[in-house]
Copies of this chain bind each other. A is one copy, B any other.
Amino acid sequence: MTIRLLLADDQELIRHALGVLLDLEPDFEVVASVGRGDEVTAAALAHRPDVALLDIDMPGLDGLAAAAVLTAQVPECRVVILTTFGRTGYLRRAMEAGAVGFVVKDAPADALADAVRRVMAGERVVDPTLAAATLAAGESPLTARERDVLIAARSSATVAEIAARLYLAEGTVRNYLSGATTKTGTRNRMEALRVADERGWL
């Protein structure tokens, strides 16, 4: 019984190389391969893969959102997130989105095939180094409001804009941003934003 795979990664060269690598395994077959997050569900419906390997950085729809849609619409397809080590903060959200595996691109060569087989066996698979790092990062210490403000800060450059968008006084916004920078151990809101984002606190 061969395992049918769907592959999603926006870097075509990488996607193709991974496809070749996986197709070499006698019990694997890559049945679909897409370069955009918003093509994942359609491809899954058309080709009925057993496992979907999704990158996080993709145009259209990111891998986490794609995972959520996919698990809702094609529940028999198991989702494995495959991404860069820097994006490890998304582990928790990936699990909430219904993923059952999380493999980093720094992992040893055979980790991917191994993860696929174990996922098919019903296990959840997470790189142990990664799990430890996530555990160390811990729960988000940010309050709901601090998170809101940080998210708004991502698209709005100035405090006044954020205040206007959230219907807050400027002082309030500055206060939340200050709290966020303290809790992230950074020195300004730009760094706080980056750190919080990396740790999956947004």
Contacts and interface: CB of A to CB of B under 8 A. Distances in A.
Interface of A: 10-14, 16-18, 20-21, 24, 84-85, 103-109, 111-112, 157-158, 187-188, 190
B190 A106 contact: no
Contact of A106 (B11, B107, B187): B11
A104 B13 CA distance: 8
Contacts of A106: 10-13
Number of copies: 2
A12 B188 contact: no
A21 B16 contact: yes
Given A12-B109, A188-B190, 5 more contacts: A11-B106, A12-B105, A13-B112, A14-B18, A190-B190
Q: In the A-B complex, list the 7 residue pairs whose CB atoms are closest, starting with the nearest.
A: A16-B109, A17-B17, A11-B105, A17-B21, A190-B190, A13-B105, A17-B18
Nearest to A85: B11
Given A17-B21, A21-B20, A188 B108 contact: no
A103 to B, nearest CB: 8
Contacts of A17: 14, 17-18, 20-21, 109
Nearest to A33: B109
A55 to B, nearest CB: 11
Interface centre among A16, A17, A112 (most CB of B within 10 A): A17
Given A20-B17, A20-B24, A12 B190 contact: no
Nearest to A35: B106
A188 B10 CA distance: 30
A106 B103 CA distance: 21
A109 B17 CA distance: 8
A13 B188 contact: no
Nearest to A193: B190
A60 B187 CA distance: 27
B188 A157 contact: yes
Contacts of A105: 11-14
